[in-house]
Amino acid sequence: QEYTAVKMEVLEWGPDVSGDVKQAVGGKKVFMVAATLRPETMYGQTNAFVGTGIEYGLYEAKEGEVWLVTERSARNMAFQGIFDGARGDLRKVASVKGADVIGTKIRPPFGIVPEVYVLPMEGVLATKGTGVVTSVPSDSPDDWRTLMDLRKKADMYKIKPEWAAVDPIPVLSTPKFGDMAAEKLCTELKIQSQRDTKLLAEAKEQTYKEGFYNGVMTIGDFKGEPVQEAKPKVRQQMMDAGLAVAYAEPESEVISRSA
């Protein structure tokens, strides 16, 4: 599986990040790095998600940067030559739990909204991508439903309402689902919460297909172009800007996960 790993710069740590972690990082630039299959939707990022119980690490990556990802994905990156230094060489600066980075302010690459926050999502898999997920609630049913859950029960999820305040941003349009496909599918399928995983999987599949085959961009440099054509172009722009890299998920792991 070939992902685009997108770099979200940490602008301000959330309230629960320890002094030890901050000290270990020192003056280095830190990026939370998310794996996506939809680089053309990055204009519509409203937040990022982490799993509260997931263990993340801060790793020396490239050009003096520190990247926050799961150890598993850092290892993959090191073997893929994404990091500076010898292949497979991993240099860990510190560890953090997902719960600790909730409320961290980040800059989403190519985002229309320049500063967004890290929020909790129950279904984040430690075994997929980087364990960090960028959120595009216009076109991802999981993201839309989770954002709405968080807004309804901010106290229960231990977030400040202002962290979840950015509204979904339309980025593409399709004949079937308009420009807010995720909301439309969640409403049509009566998806009540982020725990409705079966229905969400169905909504995701439909949204993927319709967006990819029939979508037209409504924003950005490739506005008016089909999603299929815009996707590699936006991806290349992000890579050229130093805000994204290609990241592959080893096939053996993909198989063992679904087995």
Q: Which of residues 49-88 bind ligand ZZB (CB under 6 A)?
A: none
Residue 252: strand pairing partners: none
Residue 35 binds ligand ZZB, judged by CB under 6 A: yes
Which range of residues in 13-21, 108-116, 153-161, 201-209 is near ligand ZZB by CB under 6 A? 201-209
Report CA-CA distances (Å) from 48 to 35, 82, 127, 137.
11, 22, 17, 11
Residue 186's nearest CA partner among 159, 207, 166, 163 is: 207
Which range of residues in 9-17, 29-37, 220-228, 229-237 is near ligand ZZB by CB under 6 A? 29-37
What is d(CA 158, CA 106) in angstroms, rounded to the nearest whole number? 19
Cβ nearer to ligand ZZB, comparing 27 with 236: 236
Residue 7's nearest CA partner among 26, 49, 35, 27 is: 35
CB of 249 to ligand ZZB, least distance (A): 8
Residue 140 binds ligand ZZB, judged by CB under 6 A: yes
| Dihedral over Cα of 13, 19, 23, 25: its sign | negative
Which range of residues in 10-18, 79-87, 98-106, 118-126 is near ligand ZZB by CB under 6 A? 118-126
Site residues, ligand ZZB (CB under 6 A): 35-38, 41, 123-125, 128-129, 131, 133-134, 136, 139-140, 204, 207-208
